[in-house]
Amino acid sequence: GDSVTQMEGPVTLSEEAFLTINCTYTATGYPSLFWYVQYPGEGLQLLLKATKADDKGSNKGFEATYRKETTSFHLEKGSVQVSDSAVYFCALSKGNTPLVFGKGTRLSVIA
Amino acid sequence: EAQVTQNPRYLITVTGKKLTVTCSQNMNHEYMSWYRQDPGLGLRQIYYSMNVEVTDKGDVPEGYKVSRKEKRNFPLILESPSPNQTSLYFCASSANRVSYEQYFGPGTRLTVT
């Protein structure tokens, strides 16, 4: 079946460091790809999405590019802040199927 | 304000004592679902509902029941809770199954002793 694999956490960075969280997927057909973020004590929120190959999703300084050739959707941010500390989930959907989530990557940013 | 609400937020109970976690959304969404979140396992879908009176099993439905009598509400029922159902539960909704963006509730932390 379809699956999403994320890099293991936790990830600890200093403020203003560059962030990359790796995500690769296995799916038949042409899934849409998502990053969700879960701040402490809250539910998940959609951070960004890309619906076809080579699309770039972006929001709040975060970016991810849908790479079909490498089946990847890595999350990047050029300069992280303490407020970015959260758990990040990569997910996929083929529209007529429920979201399939990765296991999540915890990010801690220290001042 | 568009939101998904869950109650209670925290619950400690004993094995075998029936409980219900309520979920309500005010966005007129058709699609609703329940997830559980466990360390190292991420989010796993328990049940989902495409519309009123239409429900279906997700990846881990054993030990749970749901109902969808009204569009806005989607309660999760544990008829006889067991310790392995200790988890963090999230309700989510979206306009339809193909809408992609799911709106999540704040979560219910359940402990079964």
Average pLDDT of chain A to the nearest whole number:
93
Around Cβ A47, how many Cβ atoms within 10 Å?
Answer: 20
pLDDT cut 70: percent of chain A above it: 98
A49-76: b (≥16 Cβ within 10 Å) or e: bbeeeeeebeeeebbbbbeeeebbbbbe
Q: How many residues does chain A have?
A: 111
Contact yes or no for A44 and B101 at CB 8 A: no
Q: How many residues does chain B have?
A: 113
**Which residues of chain B lie closer than 8 angstroms to A44, CB-CB?**
43, 90, 92, 102, 104
Q: In sequence order, what DSSP letters do the residues of chain B get, joined into one string?
A: ---EEEE-SEEEE-TT--EEEEEEESS--SEEEEEEEETTTEEEEEEEEEETTEEEE-S--TT-EE--SSSSB--EEESS--GGG-EEEEEEEESSTTS--PEE---EEEEE-
Nearest to A95 among B4, B41, B98 (CB): B98
Q: Which helix (H) or strand (E) holds A38?
A: strand A32-38
Around Cβ A5, how many Cβ atoms within 10 Å?
Answer: 15
Q: Measured between alpha carbons, how far is B39 from A62 in angstroms, rounded to an integer?
A: 25
Lowest pLDDT segment from A43-52, A79-88, B14-23? A43-52
- Is it the case that residue B57 has pLDDT exceeding 80? yes
Question: What is the pairing mode between strands B19-25 and B4-7?
Answer: antiparallel
Whole-number pLDDT of residue A1: 84
The residue-averaged pLDDT of A82-102 equals 88
- Name the residue among B97, B110, B84 with its Cα closest to residue B31: B97
- Is it the case that residue A20 has pLDDT exceeding 90? yes
Nearest to A34 among B41, B92, B100 (CB): B100
The residue-averaged pLDDT of A74-91 equals 97
Whole-number pLDDT of residue A96: 66
Whole-number pLDDT of residue A30: 85
Predicted confidence (pLDDT) per residue in A22-43, tens digit: 999 999 888 999 999 999 988 9
Predicted confidence (pLDDT) per residue in B94-110, tens digit: 887 655 688 999 999 99
The residue-averaged pLDDT of B59-63 equals 95
Contact yes or no for B106 and A32 at CB 8 A: no
Contact yes or no for B105 and A101 at CB 8 A: no
Whole-number pLDDT of residue B101: 81
Distance from A28 to chain B by nearest Cα, in Å? 17
